[in-house]
Structure 1
Amino acid sequence: MVTLNPNQQMAVEHVEGPLLVLAGAGSGKTRVVTHRIAHLLELGVLPSDILAVTFTNKAAEEMKSRIRVLKNAQVLACTFHSLGARILRESIHLLGYKNDFTIYDQEDSEKLLKACMQQLSLGDDKGTLRTLKGQISAAKNDLATESEAEEKNGSAFSRIFSLYQAKLKECNALDFDDLLYLPVKLLKEQENARTMYQNRWTFVLIDEYQDTNAAQYTLARMLVEKHQNLFAVGDPDQSIYSWRGAKYQNILNFEKDFPGAKVVALEENYRSTNRILETANALIAHNADRYEKKLWSHLGEGAKVGVFMAQSERQEAQFVVDQMLERVAQNHLSLNDIAIFYRTNAQSRIFEDALLAKKISYVIIGGLSFYQSREIKDFLAFLRMVVSD
């Protein structure tokens, strides 16, 4: 193995049995996953026996690309929803659907739900519609029983849920959440199908395990039930999706779910200096439920971490821009060497205003500049027209 630290190599060379890789931020987890797959292939495991599950299509494509570079092999790397669709395309007829089902987008599914609401005299206002759609989505992702869903959402919920599912089936259609909900239902109810898929993939790798919801977790557990060769990668300290049903307890319970499982912690960080990591370690140590680990780096101590408590958003943005200009003047940096990170896209405007006031050019990455959004451009064009008149 090349360019792997001892703990990375330990994880890569693990073959049989369940393994949990606690991958701290910037610890090279993608390299570990791809090299582990390459190691399995070197041992003679067929590419078709390996399943790698990620949370985004981008991550799946990156993983496949890296595996092709390492071993020129085609391994199934996909998202949970893509995996669910693949299973259902083959076997959904066992649930009474046709295999050429349609996947409804949000507009189609909301249109169908609205018709169900009208049929049950529940009204059709947009607020109620969105609330019910969210409740249905949560019930499917949580694999809630009818009584659990009723207790949480009220007595009318089971009627609307049952009618909505029946109407979807009439149309031979699924909504996005069915791509997780129905594969679990299929494998629970159809023993032959469950056995077939358990035999298909001998080795299963799952990335971002801390972000799995109940449906994803249950699907994974059923797929690995026979061989127990689950290679789970994640970090409970990085769980940020509980608001959409993710259960970080899934990763904390790994050793209970898989007695005898091995745990390897990746603590060497390749992105940050030690002062940043020490600050992060000190903060995250206050989390009550976590695996103990401490990130460190070979990149040196680095500059001290500074904190500025601004009195307003404008003061914060002005401070950031002033710090940028000061560093450019003192440290011979280029503005191209500097990035500003903010938590939500809505915060970009205040920083854009501060940058524009200093005539500093900038580029918004992964989003749209406030002043480039369609409605703002239209409004500014209208104002220019008024001023010119």
Structure 2
Amino acid sequence: MDWSTATKLVNSKLSIPIDQHFKLCAGPGAGKTTFLIHHIRRILTYSTRLSKSRRIACITYTNTGVETIRSRLKDTGEDIEISTIHSFLYTHVVKPYLWLLNDISFPLDRLEGHDEIKPSYTTLKEYKQRTSQFWIKDDQGLSNALSKLSWVINKQEEVELGFLKPYHGKVEERFIKKNSYLTYKEICWEQGMMSHDDVLYFSYLILKKHEKVKEIIRAKFPYFLIDEFQDTSPIQVAITTLLAEKEITVGVIGDPSQSIYSFQGANGKTFSQFNIKGMSFYILENNHRSTIQIISVLNHMRNDKHFIQHSPDNKVGNKPVILIGDVFSSYRYFLENVKNDWCVLSYKNEVTNRIKYDIRDIVTTDFDLFYRDNKRGRLIYFVVHALEYGRQMKLKDAIKYMKKAYRSIEDFTDQDAFRNLKRLLNNYEDYYSNNIKDFYNTHIFNYYGVKSKITKGEISEYYENLGFDRLAAIVNIADDKSFHKTIHKAKGDEFKNVLVISSENNYNKQLDFLLSPDMSKEEHRVFYVV
């Protein structure tokens, strides 16, 4: 990134040309959302390129980001569409134009959105049969591997299916066949299952092969603004580049030092290297949110002479405190010293959930009940997911998981899902501290056609030793609204008091991001984002 060409903006409400491609680098607390809102309002006021059929597309990375921008633009009417990149592409590219891809075996009558896919026992069995990989006995390991398959851009700038890390494709000390990757996808597609990643793949193919579709998208959206651009994957960048070839004005906002989604294909260099002919480069340095004490730590970590933050209001506060010792003792100390507006963060979901559910030993990240007990295990797995989403009032997701749980029950409707959710949530305190066997036999058995009771044998012993709280603790809630979440999910949130917990046992390594900061390391950038 050529910093010498950048124009520094002293505050987030300064205006830039509305019909010129731009890239804005904005550090933590700089007011990038304020800048984005201000820029959108200027487009709405001064642009001559908008109409009832021509709108602004505003893309951000998470649903939390969507809600934040939407709440601040609630008076703008129908002139702007705010969504995640997956939702935007599904609505405007995949859903209306998937039929153009003649070589894709996806049943169009089963096109019902996109979701995270956890393959069933039947799906894995079909995969092993079609690919002659009968040596695979570990269904849980196979499921974990196949779930990590991603569509990537290779060195020839072609899209191919692969793993972001080679070891992700390893099961039972052997690698699954490379020529079997696509077979797994085809089996999912035949069943009407489309992953979030598939949305990107299909969109890229459609836009690459069909010029007319590109023209339609450009005509509908003359402005394409992308927030958190450092978190985009190469295939998302390729899609943006395809759209930006003509007619459309592209604006991207981000910060390479806040790139923390490499596990989803994002690359810290993406923002720095992205360029479109005629694109202007701006920097927003000032930090309006943080105190001088926190900004001093941020500048120390970043250690970049081209990017030094200041507090325009000279906000003063307490110095950050480092607590060394037991996690739960630190948590108690934290709660004793803060009264409100707080949040507990960690790099890993299982670490924050240990505190949230008061589990003193290690939380296993996944359980084999999905394959060990097949249909019943699947039902339990999805019911627990539904309940944890329901506790956060994420009713749409809760009902979706409840319907997955009872998919074998004929005519199980959304109303049934809601009634069952309400019944179980009303009794949450009765089973939260019990084991899964008691939970199932008391609250699941004999409701909605469930007739198989857990009685004896190895599976009975397994469920007796599995606490409901431990299964609840592995639920990884997207756009988590609780006060215990991962750093990734808290991105964009603001709290006056934050307890950040490292998942490492080596104290020296825990403090490495302060003692020897290196923004080329994602594990250091994660703490910078906080």
Q: TM-score of the superposition, structure 2-length normalised? A: 0.56
Residues 141, 180 of structure 1: 8 Å contact kept: no
**Partner SS state of residue 177, structure 1:** helix
Letter in 1 for 2:207: L
Map Cα deviations across residues 142-201 of structure 1 (whole Å, 9 max, x no partner). Answer: 787559779955985443223233334444542332111110011112222233323332
Partner of residue 102 from structure 1, selected from 93, 109, 112: 112
Aligned match of 2:300: 282
- Gap runs ≥5 in structure 2: 1-8, 359-390, 394-427, 439-463, 465-530
Cα shift at 1:377: 1.6
Change over 3 Å in CA distance of 1:145–1:66 after alignment to 2: closer
Aligned match of 2:387: none
Residues 141, 213 of structure 1: 8 Å contact kept: no
Letter in 2 for 1:282: H
Q: CA RMSD in A?
A: 3.7
The reply to whether residue 127 of structure 1 matches residue 140 of structure 2 is yes
Residues 64, 74 of structure 1: 8 Å contact kept: no
Change over 3 Å in CA distance of 1:241–1:235 after alignment to 2: same
Partner of residue 12 from structure 2, selected from 8, 15, 19: 8
Map Cα deviations across residues 92-118 of structure 1 (whole Å, 9 max, x no partner). Answer: 110135654234644564553542123
Aligned match of 2:90: 85
User: Share of identical aligned residues, percent?
Assistant: 23
Cα shift at 1:14: 2.1
Which deviates more, 266-275 or 181-190?
266-275
Distance 2:67 2:290 in 1: 26
Distance 2:219 2:140 in 1: 45
Map Cα deviations across residues 338-374 of structure 1 (whole Å, 9 max, x no partner). Answer: 6353325524656997xxxxxxxxxxx989xxxx999
Distance 2:240 2:130 in 1: 37
Aligned match of 1:358: none
Equivalenced residue count is: 343
Partner of residue 201 from structure 2, selected from 166, 181, 187: 181
Distance 1:148 1:320 in 2: 43
Distance 1:144 1:132 in 2: 23
Map Cα deviations across residues 269-292 of structure 1 (whole Å, 9 max, x no partner). Answer: 222111210111111217xxxx93
Where do residues 34-49 of structure 1 align in structure 2 (5 Å cutoff)?
34-43=37-46, 44-46=48-50, 48-49=54-55
Partner of residue 305 from structure 1, selected from 309, 319, 323: 319
Distance 2:282 2:164 in 1: 41
Q: TM-score of the superposition, structure 1-length normalised? A: 0.74
The reply to whether residue 53 of structure 1 matches residue 59 of structure 2 is yes
Change over 3 Å in CA distance of 1:119–1:218 after alignment to 2: same
The reply to whether residue 192 of structure 1 matches residue 212 of structure 2 is yes
Letter in 2 for 1:29: K
Where do residues 171-320 of structure 1 align in structure 2 (5 Å cutoff)?
171-227=191-247, 229-254=249-274, 257-285=275-303, 292-308=306-322, 310-313=324-327, 316-317=330-331, 319-320=333-334
The reply to whether residue 33 of structure 1 matches residue 36 of structure 2 is yes
Distance 1:26 1:366 in 2: 27
Cα shift at 1:294: 1.8
Q: Whose helix proportion is higher, 1 or 2? A: 1
Letter in 2 for 1:39: R
Distance 1:62 1:150 in 2: 31
